[in-house]
Structure 1
Amino acid sequence: MILKRQFGLMVLLVLVLLAACQPENSGEREIRVALIADGTQRAFVFDRPLSVEQFLRQANITLNPLDEVTPSKFTQVTDGMTVTVVRVAETEDCSSTESLAFDQIEQPSTNLEPGETRILERGENGEVQICYTIIIADGVERTRREKSRIVVKEPKNQIVAVGQTDTLEPVVIDGTLAYISSGQAWMIRGNSGNPIPLTSDNNLDGRVFDLSADGRQLLYTRQTDDPNDAAFSNELWVILDTNNPVPIPLGYNNILSGGWIPGQPYNLYYSSANAGGGFQGWVAYNDLWVVRLNPRDGDTLDIDEIITDNVTGEFAFWGTRFAWSPDGTKVAYAKSNGVGLINLGTGDGDGDFGPFALNFAYYNTAIVNEWVWQPTLSWSQDGQWVLTTVHGPSYSNEAPTDSIIFDVGVFKADGSLALNSLISKTGIWASPVYSPVSVGPDGQAQFSIAFLQAREPLNSYGTEYDLMIADRDGSNPNRVFPPQGLPGIRPVNLEDAMPLSWSPSGQKIAVLYQKNLWIVDVESGLPRQITNDGQTSAPRWTN
């Protein structure tokens, strides 16, 4: 009995010792952790092990993608540890700008003394917007890195004319040839070696530039002097005697088109617009006025309204192109979707646009690019025919307004004949012009057609052109300029849509090529350059 009692006591003692040697329950150990986040510091006590990520979850800390945690989220929390959360955000700042300097382009000019310079177009600096990627840590900018540069305003190059010695060989000029160069009106008589300046202000805008049939009077528009005026704003001026050029303002403003009326000395016409508005900077009135000037001082002796303000036709805000017949008794007009004749009325504003002699779809590509295509007009010298460009039918499956076809068309003034395609696939800038009447080898009166032929007729809006001469019926077209192997002709601008002008004899033709004026002998095809300043436009050639 005694032995059994002793054995039981020993077992009990061993169990007690074993129990005493067991580690304490882990849940009873305190883990103290400090948290620094969102501008505050807090203390936490846990009774079991956990990771930093679990700790932050229990502390109701929500992490954003860029936030930084120290130590890392996968670290085991230990007693006395400090966990730090830095709030990190990425933002963009595009408030900075820098000036973008303009370049200066020098244009050689024979209209100035060698070495003399003249600013033709003043340069304007552009502007660049600079965007930065910024890292913000706990509300404080940590880093700033340039992300992009965006040109928000393109610089406008400064154009400077630089005088140089004229190296061009003089060309004999019959009649009077006038043109615009560097914003001035110039005239040539006799030979091209002695161009005569008719104006001096360098501000002709080219919307109206017309030489009278005898070469004695010049009608033109110039920009206004007030810098606060709308960009389109202009004034109508006249030179009554090109032998003694004295520019005279006529008192008519915001002129969209105009010219001399053939056969009626000192009589002019014009059409006007409201400066400002529209994507082009004006809203046309589509009116037509006739003015008779005093030949001594340019005062208005009489003014008649042929067509009053109206919005007739598609895209009327762009305006209407007018062309008077050689005898001054008829007026052709052109709009974006057709050409016809004006009913002149009595001169009390009761005239109107007659029905289209040729109609066609407007050119949608121009509208998309915020301008309106209108064809040019040219009368035959006998006043029977009107030559123009026609937007042709669809080439494949495109809509009529998207057609890529442009033809030379013609209609007879008496309405007896109209052909939409006298010469096919010439191109949008064909600008056909009848020559003066001359006497042929058989003693009969004859005349020709000059026009520009697209080198890529199915891409005529963007391609280059060749100068062609065809018979009056459009047959036998012959390429005369530029010489083989040289780049083709491109239009100078949309305002001056007539880059061709026949000499009074019909033996030569003036053509704009690379912004200089060339004279081409029609019979031989010999070309001669007569300006080299790269600023020439609007050739007008009369007796």
Structure 2
Amino acid sequence: MRRLLIALLVFGLAACDPSAAEVLLRVRIQVDGQELALSVNPPISVGQVLRRANVSLGAFDRLNPPDFTPVTDGMLITVVRVENRAECVEESVPYASETLKTPDLPEGVTRVLQGGVNGVARVCYDVLLEDGIERRRTQSSRTLLKQPVNQVVAVGVDLSRLEPIAINGAIFYISNGQARVIRETSLNQMTLQTGGNLDGFVFAISPDGQRLLYTRKPDSPSLEIFNELWVLLDTTDPNAQPVKLIVYNVLHAEWLPDRPNAFSYSTLRPRTEPPAYQALNDLFIAQLDASGKIISADPILPPTDSGTYGQWGTHFAWSPDGKRLAWAQAEGIGLVDVQRGTLRKLIAFRIYQTTLARGWLWQPSLAWSADGAILAATVHGAPLGDEPPENSPVFDIAMVNTAANFVINPFLERVGMWSAPQFSPLGQAENGAVSGSVAYLQARTPNDSVNGEYDLMIADRDGSNARHLFPNRDQIGIVPFEDRTRGAKFQWSPDGKQIVLAYQGDLHVVDVSSGRATRITVEGSALSPRWVK
């Protein structure tokens, strides 16, 4: 009891002591570039001190120490103002420079074919500011407002390094987005007046070598125009000017062999997803007048989805006599009934599904014999083992006698997806029988023929006596995948004695009897050779 009375007395004296009631804590606050000094009564937290000082915090502001911390004498409280800001600016996009080799200029001489123009991009950033000072800037988006235009510089190369050989007729090809032709001799080369930006979807020479039908990308990129169709009416006239036809977004076009100035074409609709277009699988036959104007365009096939994978399109090939029209899709080949506007399937097979994940789909190649009796095609073969048919690595060559409706499949086995058979012009054997050969590409690794190397092979018309032609076994093989959208990589000469081949960026002429190959271009960008009389 005595101890309790003493404790109460001490407490009462302390309560009556004025100095005990006036204990204050000194605090400093650094905020907004200022320092505030306060004296506060304990107990009190950092958050309570800020409210007493009328200092408010933003959602991202950083406080040290945290707001629940008890205040001690002499404490420094710091508030860092944090701001996240979005900023968008227009920035210049530098143009690139392209160098194109050309034999049209003396060796080493350069000429600017196209001046470069910078593009414009709208670039947006997330900007982090601390007390008004930028601490971090992160790009959040980039939108190209104006495409840069590359500078194109031509530099001359010397053709004299090449061995001159005679050219029977004329060889047309694409180089650096332009059409070129070689006539009579390998040293007689010139650029045709087609303009640039040839995309290779259409590159068709009339049977007499006079007219060139081709597609090119528009000078100003457009979401509505995938490509444009043009015609050069006289490839022998160096001053001839091309004619732009009123046909856009063309997937396929080909001259009709039996009708002068007439061609067939199929169209597409541009899209942003692979393969950058939606094929319409339609077909028209158009007629040109003497000036290159389209005077009629008759529909043969209406637009259609044409199966599960119709978006990739239908490819067509006229027989040399113009009497039959073949078609090819990812799931089969057949003939077009031009009068009725229908498709008849001759060979069906499973699609090759493996490449779909890469954004493209394999489609068969087509080739007619010179007499129009036989149709050859690369087709997807049966599985080797237990793999699904869609994943079979097998690709064969099939032959169809279209008159007798007789199919040989496989005709040549396991040649590879890029075999692209081509018939030679017809000859006559000693016994008077029709003779001829078929050339094709043979995959060096048939079970992995998508990206692999190939050899040029030649066989008799019936598939017998197959022999290797080019390149040598110890050389790098032909790689068709690098140019899979451009059509044939090789073609026969009009007399059937030679084959022109695109190999490692240049054209080579291979003698069929000896296998001797002669390089005839030096640009390093030769594509899509076409050989006509």
Partner residue, 1:45: 41
Cα distance in 2 for partners of 1:367, 1:76 equals: 66
Moved more, 318-327 or 301-310: 301-310
Cα RMSD for the two superposed structures:
4.4
2:380 to 380, 388, 391: 391
Which aligned pairs between 1:494-513 and structure 2 lie closer than 5 A? 494-513=484-503
Using a 3 Å threshold, how does the CA distance of structure 1 residues 76 and 531 change in structure 2: closer, same or farther?
A: same
TM-score by length of 1: 0.78
Q: Does 1:257 align with 2:248?
A: no
Q: Deviations over 1:47-102 (max 9, x none)?
A: x7x9989999xx9x999999453699999834xx3441425758686856755534
Structure 1 partner of 2:353: 364
Q: CA deviation at 1:377?
A: 0.5
Q: 1:45 to 1:274 in 2, by over 3 A?
A: same
Alignment equivalent of 1:438, drawn from 406, 416, 427: 427
The whole-number CA distance in structure 2 between the counterparts of 1:198 and 1:286 is 31
Instruction: Give the whole-Å Cα distance in 1 for the aligned partners of 2:227 and 2:63.
Output: 62
Q: Secondary structure at the match of 2:41?
A: strand
- The partner residue of 1:528 within 506, 518, 522 is 518
Corresponding residue of 1:204: 198
In 1, distance between residues paired with 2:428 and 2:255? 27
Q: Which residue of 2 aligns with 1:86?
A: 79
Matched, 1:333 2:322: no
Please state how far the C-alpha of 1:379 moved relative to its aligned partner.
0.7
Greater shift, 436-445 or 188-197, is seen at 436-445
List alignment gaps of at least 5 residues for structure 2: none
- 1:52 and 1:228 map into 2 onto residues whose CA distance is 61
Matched, 1:169 2:158: no
TM-score (norm 2): 0.79
1:463 aligns to what? 452
CA 1:244–1:418 in structure 2 vs 1: closer, same or farther (change >3 Å)? Answer: same
Counterpart-to-counterpart distance in 1, 2:253 and 2:67: 81
Which residue in the other structure is 1:32 paired with? Answer: 24
Matched, 1:235 2:224: no
Distance, in Å, in 2 between the alignment partners of 1:497 and 1:317 is 19
Following TM superposition, by how much is the alpha carbon of 1:274 offset from its aligned partner in structure 2, in angstroms?
4.9
Instruction: Please identify the structure whose Cα radius of gyration is greater.
Output: 1
Paired with 2:449 and 2:401, the residues of 1 have a C-alpha distance of 27
CA distance in 2, matches of 1:340, 1:121: 48
3-state DSSP class of the match of 2:307? coil
Is the partner of 1:317 in helix, strand or coil?
helix
CA contact (8 A) 1:240 1:298 kept: no
User: What is the rounded CA distance, in whole Å, between the counterparts of 2:264 and 2:29 in structure 1?
Assistant: 81
3-state SS in 2 of match to 1:401: helix
2:279 to 262, 280, 284: 284
Is residue 192 of structure 1 aligned with residue 183 of structure 2?
Answer: no
Going from structure 1 to structure 2, the CA distance change for 1:422 and 1:69 (only over 3 Å counts) comes to: same
Name the CA shift for 1:36/1:517 in 2 (closer, same or farther; >3 Å): same
Distance 1:104 1:361 in 2: 44
Note the residue ranges of structure 1 that are not aligned, 5 or more in a row: 1-11
Give the C-alpha shift of residue 253 in structure 1: 0.8
Map Cα deviations across residues 188-228 of structure 1 (whole Å, 9 max, x no partner).
Answer: 22211112443252343333222233333333334456665
Change (3 A) 1:273 1:483: same
Worse-matched range after superposition: 475-484 or 327-336 = 475-484
1:306 is matched with: 300
Distance 1:287-1:120 versus aligned 2 partners, 3 A rule:
farther
Deviation at 1:331, TM superposition (A): 0.7
Identity %: 31
The CA distance in 2 between the partners of 1:85 and 1:250, in whole Å, is 72
Displacement of 1:272 = 3.3
Kept in 2: contact 1:130–1:148 (CA 8 A): yes
1:175 partner SS: strand
* Alignment CA distance shift 1:88-1:226 (3 Å): closer
